Chain A
Amino acid sequence: MNDSAEKVSLDERQFQAAVRCRSVKKYYGAVKAVDEVDLEVRKGECFGLLGPNGAGKTTLVEILEGLTRPDRGLVEVLGYQWGMGDDRSFRERISVQLQETQLADKLTVAETIRIFRSFYRQGRSVEEVIRKAGLEEKQGERVMKLSGGTKQKLALACALVSEPELLFLDEPTTGLDPQARYQVWEIVEEFKSRRGTVLLTTHYMEEAARLCDRVAIMDHGKILAMDRPELLVESLVGRGIIEFRAGEDFDETLLAQLPSVKAMERKNSGFVLKVLELNQTLPALLAEVEKRNLKLAGLVSRPATLEDVFIALTGGKLKDE
C-alpha cells in the first residue's frame, strides 16, 4: 500500500502534476455525479472544468478538495492522497473557494480574513490580502452589507491569505456583474503570476478562454474533451463559423467545393459551416454565390468558441439562458 503510494508520488514529480485522478467515481443513488474521470492538472497552470449545471463539476472538485469521498478511484493532490496522512496539515498547502459559501454576517471584512489567517502557520498579512483583493474601502464593513461581487472578492481573499500552492475555485464569478467578474479575474491572474496552480469550474466560456491554459469539458459526470481552449475549438469545430439562410433554389453541392470547410449542417432554412480559415472560405462562398446569382440572407461569420465545442460534443447549451 505504502509502496504503491510512494511510486505514484515519484511518477508525479516527473509529470509535475498538481492534481491527478484516475477512474474516479461517485454515484448518488442512480445519479452518476462523477463517472470514471481521469484528469491531470499540471503545476503552474490554470485548469478549467467547463460544463452546465449538474454536470458533476462541483462533486469532482469537492472530491479533489478532500471534502467528499469518491466511491472509488485514485486522487492525488500535490502528491498527497486524502486520508493517507495528516489531512489537516496538508490543507495548509491548498486553498478553496466553495460555491455558495456565506461568511459570518456580523463580522467585518478584516475580521473575517483575520480568522482565516489564524488557521495557517504561514501566509500573507491581512493588510496585504485586503490590498490585493481591492477591499481597502470595505475592510471595516460587515459582511451582511456587502454586494455579491465584494463578497466573492472576500471569499477569494480568505482563500489567498495562506499563499497556497494550489487554488480551487468553484464558479468564482457566477451571478456577478461584468465589472465584479473582471475584478475577480484580475485577482486570479495575480495569483497565476506567482506561479500558483488554479483549478476552476465555470460555465462561462469567456472566463475559461481568458483564464485557463487548459480546459476539460464535462457533462453527465464524464470528461468529454480536454485540451488548450484554442486547440479544442480548432480540432472539434474549426476556427470560424459561417451561418446564413438561403432561398429554395440554393444549390447545396457548391458548399462542398469551398476551401477549408470542416463540416456543414442544415439549420432551419439555412446552413452552418464550420471552417478552418474564415478568410479562405468566406470570399470563396461570396464569389460562388455571385457567380450563380443566388440569394443569401442573415449572413454571419464569427470565430468559433468553446460554446460551439460544447454544442458539438453534447448537442446542448452550456448555460440555460
Chain B
Amino acid sequence: MSESRIHHPLMELTIARIKETIREPEAMFWIFVFPVLLALGLGIAFRDRPPEKIPVAINSRMKDTSQIAEMISRSPRLKAQMIAPADLGQFLRTGKVALIISRTREINFLKSNRAENLQAQSGADLFLIYDPTRSESQLARLAVSDALQSGMGRKDVIALQDQEVKEPGARYIDFLIPGLVAMNLMGSGMWGVGFGIVFARTRKLLKRLAASPMRRSHYLLAFMLSRLVFLVGEVAAVVGFGWLVFEVKVYGSILDLAIVAIIGSMTFTGMGLLVASRATTIETASGWMNFIMLPMYLLSGTFFSYSRFPALLQPFIRALPLTALNDTMRAIINQGDPLFKSWLELLVLILWGSVSFAVAVRIFRWQ
C-alpha cells in the first residue's frame, strides 16, 4: 500500500480527499441516493394520468333529468350525479360537485335548511349554479354549456381537434430532472467543500498544513478536483434514473451536458470555499450555507418555473447562479439547444465561481 511511489502533492491531496468522501457513508447518501429518491417521489406524485372528469350535480326532480344527464354524459370532461333537491346545496358547498344544474328556484345552501330563493332570469330554461371563484367550476360551466347546447342541436361553426401532449419532453418530470441535477450540483459543491474545510480548521489541521511546505493553492484545488470525480456519478445517477424510469431524454449533446456540469460544479465549489474561508465553527458555516442556498431553492425554478414571480424580481432571479444552471441544464436536456445559446447563463456561472474563488483565496484563514 505505502510501497507505491509518492505522487505530486496535488494528486496526493486529491486522492486523500476522494478517499475521505467515499469513507463517509452519509456523504455518499446525500450525493447519490437522495436526489434519486427525490426524483422518484416527485415523478410519482406528478405522473401522467388521464385528466379527471369534473363532477356536476343534476337536480333529480326534473321532468327531463335523464335527458339532461344523457347529454352531460356525452361530454368527456364531465361526470353527472343525480341529487335530490334538498341535498344539492350541501354537495356544492362541500366541493363534492363543481356545479348544479337545476330548474328549481329554491336550493338549501345552509345547514339551517333556510331556502334561498333564486329568481329565474327572464327566459332562462336552466340554472347553472356555481361559485365563479373556483376554476374547476368555471371549467364545468363551459363544459356543461357546451354539452347542453350541442345536445340540443347547436351546430359547431368551426371544426376543432384536440391534440393532447403526452410526449416525453414536455411533462413535469422532464422539467424536474434537469432542476434536480442542478440543485444537486449546488448542494454537494457547497456542503462538501464548506464542511470539509471548516472541519479541518476546527481541528487545527489547516494550521498544521500551513506549517508545512504544502502549496496552499494545492489544498484548495484538491477540493475542486475531487468534486470532478464525484460529479460524473452525481449527474449520471439523476439523469440515468430519469431516463430509465421516466424516459426523460437528453436531447442535447452529452459533451455539452458534461461541460455545463463541470462549470456549474466549479461555481458552487468556489462559493463553498468562500463561505468556508473564514468560518471557525460548523454552525457559522452552516448558517451561511442556508442563507445562500435557501433563496435559490425557492427562486431559481428547480421545482416550478420562476416566471411566476413578479416581473420586478426577474432580473435578480436570473442573476442567481442556480437559475443560470437550471436554465442551461433545461436548454440542453429538454430542448437540445447547443451550448453557445446559453452563453449568458454560462457567463453568470463563471463570474460567480471565479469571483468567489478569488475572494476566498485572498481572505482564507488557515488557523
Write the residues of chain A forming the contact surface with B, with a CB cutoff of 8 angstroms. 65-67, 88-92, 95-96, 98, 100-104, 106-107, 110-111, 113-120, 126-127, 130, 139-140, 142, 158
Contact = CB atoms under 8 A, between A and B. Distances in A.
Q: Which of A107, A114, A118 has the most CB of B within 10 A?
A: A118
10 contacts: A66-B211, A67-B210, A101-B204, A106-B20, A106-B23, A111-B16, A118-B13, A120-B212, A127-B2, A130-B2
Question: Looking at B11, B211, B215, B367, which has the most chain A CB atoms within 10 Å of its CB?
Answer: B211
A104 B215 CA distance: 18
B19 interface: yes
Contacts of B12: 114-115, 118
Interface string B1-44: 11100111101110010011001100000000000000000000
Contact of B6 (A98, A118, A140): A118
How many interface residues does chain B have, given as a range?
Answer: 20 to 34
A103 B16 CA distance: 12
Contacts of B23: 106, 142
Q: Which 7 residue pairs spanning A and B have beta carbons closest together? A: A102-B203, A118-B12, A91-B213, A110-B2, A106-B23, A118-B9, A101-B208
Contact of B211 (A65, A100, A126, A130): A65
B214 interface: yes
Contacts of A104: 16, 20, 200, 205
Which of A95, A98, A140 has the most B CB atoms < 10 Å from its CB?
Answer: A98
Nearest to A108: B1
Given A101-B203, A102-B204, A116 B24 contact: no
A110 B3 CA distance: 10
A88 B210 CA distance: 9
Given A101-B203, A102-B203, A118-B6, A91 B20 contact: no
B93 interface: no
A121 B266 CA distance: 30
B213 A89 contact: yes
Contacts of A120: 212-213
A96 B210 CA distance: 10
Contacts of B74: none
A102 B3 contact: no
A90 B210 CA distance: 12
A113 B12 CA distance: 11
Given A88-B215, A127-B3, A101 B207 contact: yes
